[in-house]
Each structure stands twice: as C-alpha cells, then as structure tokens.
Amino acid sequence: MLAGMIVFDVLFSLPLLRWFRPPALPRWRKVSQHYREMAVEMGGVLIKLGQFVSTRVDLLPPEIIHELAGLQDRVAPARLETVVLQIEKDFTRPLADIFPVFGPDPIGSASLAQAHEAELDDGTAVVVKVLRPGIDILVATDLKVMEQVCRWLNRFSHIRGRMNLDQLMAEFTATTRRELDMMEELANLKRFDDDFRKDPHVYVPRVHENHCAPATLTMENVAYVKINDVEALGRWGIDHRQVADRLYDVYMKQIFITNFIHVDPHPGNLFIRPLPLERETAAGIHAFSPGDRPVACEQRPFQIVFIDFGMTAVIPKRFKAALRTMAIGVGTRDARKVVQAYVAAGVLQPGVDTVRLEAAHEDWFNRLWGIRMGKMHEVAYEEARYFIKEYRDLITEIPFQLQEEMLFVGRAVGILAGMATQLDPEFDPWGKTIPYARQFAREELKLNWKDLPEEVLLLGRHLLKIPAALDHVLDKARHGTLAIQVSLSPETRRAIKRIDLSVKRFAWMVLSAGLLVSGVNLYIAGHLHLGVAFMGLSILVFLWGLRKA
C-alpha cells in the first residue's frame, strides 16, 4: 500500500507523468478494502486508525468511507468461551452467579471490547462490555512497533528538533493502556455525567457498579438509533440536521467549558435516544426502549447518548485561554488573533516568522470561509496543492511543536467534522463558531475591565520610559550605529520564490539535457552500458527536478 502511494500519488502527480496516472478512486477503493481486511485480521490499533479514517466524510469520497465503515462496530467477535473465561476470571465466580442470563451473540464488537446482552439477578436487562481476551498482548505488540518507528524517526534531526516523539509516544501509550481498564472508563463516565447532568440534550448510560471489574463494565442498554442512521432518524421524526448542530454544540462545551473531552465519537459510540412528546406522555408513554418500532411525528425531541469512555482527554490549564483566543480568531476571521493563540499555547517553534504565518491564515480564511463541510472534499486536493505551492517555505520549516495533550483532541475534532458532514452536508462550521467567538469576546472584555487599573498603571510606566528610549535611539543615530530591520511583504516573498524556482528549474533541465546528450553520444560510440547508465541518470535527474520544482 505504501509503495503504491509513493508511485501513484507522489511520483505520478508530477508534470508529464500525471497523464499516465490511473484513476485514483478505483485504486483507493481497493486499498481501503485491503486495509479493512488486514485491520480485521490483525485488530488492535489498526482498527482504531480505520475507524478514524471512516468518519472523514468531509475529506474523503463516499466509496472509501463505505469500505471502512464496517470497522466502527462490526469487527469479528471473540469466541464466546474465551469471553466467559474472561468474566469469570474478573469476578472469580461462575458466569451464572454473576449474570443468570447472558446472550451468546455480541450486539456490538469493536477493536478492544465487545458487548453482550444479559440480565441481573432481579431481571434487570443490561449490556455487558467485556475486553477482548488477550487484547492487552496485542496492544502491547502494536505499541512496541510504534515505539520502534519513533526511534527510527528520531534519527532525523529535522523531525527530532520539532517534536518530542518520545514524549508523544509515552502519552499515546498511557492513554491506550487506560482503555484496557474498565474501572478507569467507569471513572471517566462518572466525570462526563457530572459535566452534563443538567444538560437535557445529553444522556449517559446508568452503570451497575456492583457488576463492574477491571475487564468488565455493566450498564443499561442505550442502543437506540445510531447517530449516522439518517433513515431511522427520519422514521422517528428526528431532524438529522438538528442532530449535527447539537453534536457540535456538545463538543464545543466539552472543549471550551468543561475541558474534559470524549475523544472517540465514531458512530459506534454515539446513539440518539428518542423522547416522547407531551401528548404521548399524557397517554402513558414516558420513555422508549432500544429496539422499539419508530413512532413517527414531526420534530421529535431527542438526546445524544455517549458510550465508551475509555479514550478521553483533559485540556490542561495552559491551553484554556489559548483555545478561547483561537475561537475568537476563527469566528471573527482574525488571522492575527489565531497566531496569538498559537503563541499563548506555546505550540510554535522558536524563531517562526509569525508575519508569514498570519499571511497563510489570512489566505486560508479568504479561500475556505463559508465552504460547507459536505463540499470540503471536493476542494481539499486543489486547496492543499495551492497552499503547498504558496507556502512551501513555511510548511517545510514545520512551524508547530506537536503537543501530546492535543493529539487526541485533534482526533476528536476530526471525527466530529466528519460526523457533522455525514448528518448534514450543508453543515456550516464557520457560522456555528461565530456565537462562541462573540461569547468569549464578551467574557474577555469583562475580564479586561476588571484588569483596567493594572493596565493603566502599566501604561503609565511605559509612557515614563518613552523619553529615555527616544534619547537612546537618537544617540545611536548620532554615532552611526542605528540599525533598522525590515521584513519583506508577502507579494515580494512570492516574487522572489518564483524567481528562485525558475532558476532551479533551468539548472536541472540543463543538467538533465547534458546527461541525456552524453548518454546518446556514448551509446552511438559503442559504449552501450555507459550510455544507458547516463541516459537513465538523466531521467532520474529530470524526475528529481520535477519533484523539487
């Protein structure tokens, strides 16, 4: 798969060769199918990666999404006898003493665990989530491979100087291992429930703690309607566009208000719980159960149900103010504010050209603002080419220092974008961000008013320093030691870059032509092998030059 990507998506994307590139969609569909089969066979982290990709309907065509969608909750289950042994080991009792009724067929099977219907001693129907037997060994093996890859990447100073791969790998390992402890997941579920206890639009399943253990979690059955089943939502009378809006709002609250985030929101972990109308409540219908037949109506109320709290993230204090500044910058299309957020969060490399970074974000706002999420994948490729061409100098410098705390938050935001698009192709993230930007700006203004006396005092100190600073500048001018530093405008930078690119193109074309002529002359003169070698070298130089150009 990797070799195919290099050949067809890198080499054959170059000028001239792109005319010989086969159609991308059938090839990527086949690659997706092979990856799904491999992930199902090997399990573990590969399935997690496939689940993430399968939600990115905002960036990838539906044919690829369809191939990978089966990884969300239909992974091949473990054998029943091994699951039973796992539960009995967890509780040190026979299964019948714990769950008098235990469904032999799982109702859901994911990468790390699977779920079975069961009943407690008092007849209460529950769902039992059990870790896959031996999953700890499989995950440990996957993590060892990833650690080896990180060690290999650390050999490159360009990468080593821009991100602490060892620290990132340690954080990823710790988070992944926490997924293998159901008691940790129980604690996460309780915290999330506390955060949204007063929110009528969010529902968290009730847990039977007496029937929980390190590898077993027992909770109420909340498998109502899968969040991405648009047809089923319609049969219940639930507006899927409203679901997208509400899901976005819930995640904005997690990121900016509670700072505790459910970072694995793929469709296997999110359900929609239909609620009865007032007239239905008056008629004696107080709730619906999973599996009930749809009762059609217009604008049925609903709740978003969250399950699987093994993977969560906490926003550290140093990021909270920066995230709010980022929201204000995006909501007001203020590139300078966005870059200020990067600086406040400490995610920029030392010495980064912030003026150039602001210009890139300004360009990004101008080109992408207002594009609906459902249309994003249609322009993603061309826009990526444009930004690589215009800001290659900035991109190759890798201006960002990847922060381990934000890895999983970024993953959650990516999945959220795909989910919102799947529910509503006309979803407008820009418009949805503006109200949050206004709210945070008002709060920031109130805080600034509280700090007004301190700001006035600080301003006074600066005003007192101005005469001395001005005298210092004039003194340097009199002695001829005054230096002025200037910065090129973005237009001038682009012009210089085009000239530099033209010179490079001319140089490698001359070199390639010289090698080709030399090879032909040697071939004609009877030096066959040397002539072929020179002609082959000319082709390599030509391709290398195209790649660099």
Residue scoring higher pLDDT (493 or 384): 384
Q: What is the Cα 388 distance to its own chain's centre?
A: 20
∠ Cα 301 304 305 (to 5°)? 130
Q: 299: alpha, beta or left, given left = phi > 0 and alpha = psi -120 to 50?
A: left
| pLDDT for the residue 119 | 95
Query: Is residue 292 domain-shared with residue 335, that is, in the same domain?
Result: no
State residue 1's pLDDT score.
Answer: 47
Residue 268 lies in a domain: no
The more confident residue out of 389 and 366 is 366
Strand-pair partners of 108: 115
Is residue 258 included in any domain, yes or no?
no
- Residues 392 and 462 placed together within one structural domain of the fold: no
Give the C-alpha separation, 46 to 81, whole Å. 25
d(CA 25, CA 46): 22
Cα–Cα distance, 507 to 501 (Å, whole number): 10
Residues 95 and 124 in one domain: yes
Predicted pLDDT at 445: 65
Indicate if 111 and 180 belong to the same structural domain: yes
pLDDT of residue 506: 60
Instruction: Quote the domain boundaries for residue 504.
Output: 490-548
Partnered with residue 219 across adjacent β-strands are: 127, 207
For residues 348 and 177, give the distance between their C-alpha atoms in angstroms, rounded to a whole number.
29
* pLDDT of 391: 78
Contact between residue 29 and residue 37 where contact means Cβ atoms under 8 Å apart: no
Instruction: Convert the pLDDT of each residue in 10-42 to its tens digit.
Output: 455 555 555 556 666 666 677 666 666 666 666
Q: In which band, very low, low, confident or very high, does the pLDDT at 117 lie, cut at 50, 70 and 90? A: very high
Asked whether residue 195 falls in the same domain as residue 119, the answer is yes
For residues 397 and 460, state if they share a domain: no
Give per-residue pLDDT as tens, 325-372: 888 888 888 899 989 888 888 878 777 888 888 888 898 888 888 777
Task: Indicate the angle between helix axes 165-178 and 135-153, nearest 10 degrees.
Answer: 170
Q: Point out the domain boundary residue: 312, 337, 361.
A: 312
In a domain, 270, yes or no: no
Alpha-carbon span 295 to 276, nearest angstrom: 9
- Rounded distance, CA 215 to CA 207, Å? 14
Looking at the structure, tell me whether residues 300 and 343 fall in a common domain: no
CB contact at 8 A, 230 and 162: no
**Backbone region of residue 197 per phi and psi (left: phi > 0; alpha: psi in -120 to 50; beta: other values):** alpha
Least confident window among 82-86, 432-436, 449-453:
449-453
246 domain-assigned: no
Predicted pLDDT at 364 = 86
User: Do the beta carbons of residue 77 and residue 106 sit within 8 Å?
Assistant: yes
Query: What b/e sequence results for 510-527 when a residue is b if at least 16 CB atoms lie within 10 Å of its CB, and e otherwise?
Result: ebbeebbebbeebbeeee
Q: How far is CA 216 from CA 22, 89, 139, 281, in A?
A: 49, 10, 18, 35
Q: Please state the φ and ψ torsions of residue 33, each to the nearest 5 degrees.
A: -65, -45
Each residue of 287-324: pLDDT tens digit?
999 989 998 888 899 999 999 998 888 888 778 888 88
> Coil, helix or strand for 83?
helix
CA separation for the pair 214, 89 (Å, rounded): 10
Q: Is residue 269 situated within a structural domain?
A: no
Judge if 540 and 510 occupy the same domain: yes
The total of other beta-carbon atoms located within 10 Å of residue 345's CB is 22
Burial 290-317 (b: 16+ CB within 10 A, else e): beeebeeeeebbbbbbbbbbbbbbebee
Is there a contact between 271 and 127 (Cβ–Cβ < 8 Å)?
no
Question: Measured on CA atoms in the order 337, 339, 344, 347, is the torsion positive or negative?
Answer: positive
Q: Mind giving me the DSSP string for 97-133? A: HH-SEE-SS-SEE-SSEEEEEEE-TT--EEEEEEEPT
Strand 125-131 and strand 216-219: pairing? antiparallel
Count of CB atoms situated within 10 Å of the CB of 258: 15
Asked whether residue 267 is assigned to any structural domain, the reply reads no
pLDDT in the model for residue 215: 94
- Cα separation, 415 vs 311, whole angstroms: 13
Q: Which of 21-35, 78-92, 187-201 has the lowest mean pLDDT?
A: 21-35
pLDDT reported for residue 242: 94
Can you tell me the distance from the alpha carbon of 399 to that of 322, in angstroms, rounded to the nearest whole number? 17
Q: What's CA 531's distance to the chain center, in Å?
A: 51
How many other C-beta atoms lie within 10 A of the C-beta of residue 67?
22
472 and 421, same structural domain? no
What is the pLDDT at residue 368? 81
pLDDT at 158: 62
Phi/psi of residue 483, nearest 5 degrees: -115, 140
Find where tokens 């994003």 sit. 376
Query: pTM for the whole thing?
Result: 0.70
Share of the chain above pLDDT 70, in %: 67
SS3 of residue 92 by DSSP: coil
Strand order in the sheet with 302-306: 202-203, 302-306, 270-274, 225-226
Does 230 fall in a domain?
yes
Which position has the higher pLDDT, 499 or 411?
A: 411
End-of-domain residue from the set 45, 71, 97: 71
DSSP secondary structure of 387-408 = HHHHTHHHHHH--B---GGGHH
Is residue 494 located within the same domain as residue 481?
no
Task: Look at residue 448 and tell me whether its pLDDT is greater than 90.
Answer: no
The structural domain count of the chain equals 5
Structure token digits, residue 7: 């050949």
Rounded CA-CA distance 396/376 in Å is 24
Q: Judge whether residue 458 has pLDDT over 50.
A: no
Q: Of 113, 135, 117, which Cα lies nearest the Cα of 126?
A: 117
Give the pLDDT score at 494: 57
Q: Clarify whether residues 421 and 302 are in a common domain.
A: no
pLDDT higher than threshold 50 for residue 459: no
| Alpha carbon distance 393, 387 (integer Å) | 10
Quickly list DSSP for 448-465: HHHTHHHHHHHHHHHHHH
CB 337 within 8 A of CB 314: no
- Assigned domain for 131 exists: yes
Q: What confidence tens digit (pLDDT) does each residue in 490-529 have?
A: 555 555 565 566 556 666 666 667 777 777 777 677 777 7
Within this chain, do residues 417 and 282 fall inside the same structural domain, yes or no?
no
Domain finish residue from 283, 312, 341: 312
Q: Is residue 430's pLDDT more than 80?
A: no
Q: CB-based contacts of 481: which residues, under 8 Å, 6+ apart? A: none
Q: Report pLDDT digits (tens) over 135-190.
A: 888 788 878 877 887 788 777 766 666 666 777 777 777 777 888 899 999 999 99
Quick one: CA dihedral 166, 172, 176, 178, positive or negative?
positive
Q: What percentage of the chain reaches a pLDDT higher than 90?
A: 26
Residue 2 pLDDT: 45
Q: Enter the tokens of residue 384.
A: 């990526």
Among 64-73, 173-182, 209-218, 412-421, the least confident range: 64-73
pLDDT of residue 102: 96
Read off the tokens for 312.
């969560």
